[in-house]
Amino acid sequence: MSRLPRRGRSVRAAVLVAAASVAVGCGSGSGSGGDDTAGAPSGEDRSRLSGELWLNPDGHGPVAVAQARAEGRTAEADALEPLAEQPTATWVATPENPFPVVERLSVAAADAGQLPVLVAYNVPLRDCRLYSAGGAADADAYLSWIGSFAAALGDRPAVVVLEPDAIAQAVVGCEGVEPAARYELLAQAVEILDRQPEVRVYLDAGNASWVTDLPVLADALRRSNVDQADGFAVNVSNFEATDVSAEYGLALSEELQEDAPPGTPPAHFVIDTSRNGVGPPEPRADGERWCNPPGRRLGEAPTTASDLPRVDALLWIKQPGDSDGTCRGGPAAGQWWPEAAAELVAG
């Protein structure tokens, strides 16, 4: 299987990627799951994702249900069962070497004959020092981290959603983040992940209510190497309705197509539907509209069989029931919050 031609890189980028590729090792450098449109005329579509998505038995939902049943809390287990039945993404956000955990997840999914969805979440100055603050110490540390992440995937299929919020925050402004440097770093991350023959990479592009200047966002995505990636992701950890997200993603894809290099197929995208069942919350004066809003519900089930234009998949990227952060009484970001989980399945 072939992919789009790689873009040119700066000398510095080439040196850094070459160093990271020592860890990546395997991978033909020209293959990926299902994209055989390299050199295709502009306008020819990319292939979609296919196959059964992996249900991680160690996900927060399945573990909570299993624990409730083991402890005799049958009614609670029954209520939360929808969270144990659907495949969700697994977030890899540890600053330590990610190789062991990514390899374990990848092998388990491959043994099950299913497609895992992983989130790489360790960019320097992650989340603009907000509830999910953290990330690698600097660019070199990040490239080493993403190199280990990629190497752990080997030649096994995987979907990687790359760095939620990183591009949108650079666009709107984040103290300490130089946009050009961040885009270059993400472009190198795409390059590294693309060396693995069966990995599909989707750069995060925010959501329909965030960056509404599509030409600016498209430029940021292009500088982040979206043309070499398999596309972008929208609505990660957010609540925008699926139709709104699909319309936004299609408009962004068309914007990207306007100035795409010759032969570049239209960019596809994936939509996070994990918590968008009733759409977004109402605006709040305190500005924390998106942090653990009450009254949300589960969205459409994950699937790679979406018939929406240029949509490769509907995914549960945010694990339903995980906290957005220590707002409205929630635990730390990414931790299981039973009360929030119960509310999501109540409707």
Among 164, 251, 248, 250, which residue's Cα sits nearest to residue 208? 248
Q: CA 113, CA 10: separation in Å to the nearest integer?
A: 39
- Tell me which of 127, 204, 227, 322 is the catalytic residue: 127
Among 207, 208, 189, 209, which residue's Cα sits nearest to residue 199? 189
DSSP state of 326: S
Q: Does 127 qualify as catalytic in the annotation?
A: yes
Q: CA 211, CA 324: separation in Å to the nearest integer?
A: 20
CB 224 within 8 A of CB 203: yes
- Tell me which of 230, 272, 322, 324 is the catalytic residue: 324
Can you point out the beta strands (E) in the chain? 90-92, 117-120, 158-162, 199-204, 231-234, 268-272, 311-315
Token pair in block for residue 29: 């450098």
CB 72 within 8 A of CB 66: no
Q: How far is CA 149 from the centre of its chain?
A: 14
Q: CA 281, CA 320: separation in Å to the nearest integer?
A: 16
Checking DSSP bridges between strand 90-92 and strand 158-162, what pairing results, if any?
A: unpaired
Q: Does 165 qualify as catalytic in the annotation?
A: yes
- Tell me which of 35, 155, 165, 307 is the catalytic residue: 165
CA end-to-end span of the chain, whole Å? 44
Q: Does 138 qualify as catalytic in the annotation?
A: no
Find the helix packing angle between 179-194 and 139-153, rounded to 10°: 20
| Contact partners, residue 42, CB within 8 Å, separation at least 6 | 257, 260, 262, 263, 264, 265
Burial class (CB in 10 A: 0-12, 13-18, 19+), 245: buried
Find where tokens 């994950």 sit.
302
Catalytically active residues, by annotation = 127, 165, 324
